[in-house]
Amino acid sequence: MNRLVILYPTLLAVALAAGVATPVLADPGRDTDRAFEATRDGRSMPLPQLERRILPFMGGADYLGPELNGGTYRLKFMQDGRVIWVDVDARTGRIIRRSRP
């Protein structure tokens, strides 16, 4: 019994040291990481700048937030209980497409 009590914490420590928890701690595919890299590399405008360009065109709609899909930001809005998606070129800030309200 004493061996099991000592062995379990040791095995747990070895598993953690081997990187079992690494995928939880580091996710390189996250939108924020990709957006930061794209902005840093000049492939994208900073998100706040894009938002300032688009928000005036969305009179009365509540802004819910962005998603990054490759070189396109998808901004999500809500108006009168309906979702509106606005796809924006991340590099130029140009609206590519907008769903119907």
Higher pLDDT, 43 or 82: 82
Domain that holds residue 9: 2-98
**DSSP string for 70-81:** TTEEEEEEEETT
Quote the pLDDT of residue 60. 87
Structural domains of the chain, count: 1
Question: What's residue 76's pLDDT?
Answer: 96
Tell me the pLDDT of the chain averaged across its residues.
Answer: 75
pLDDT band for position 15 (50/70/90)? very low
Helix (H) or strand (E) holding 38: helix 31-40
76: buried, middle or exposed (CB in 10 Å: 19+, 13-18, 0-12)? middle
As a residue count, the chain comes to: 101
pTM > 0.75: yes or no: no
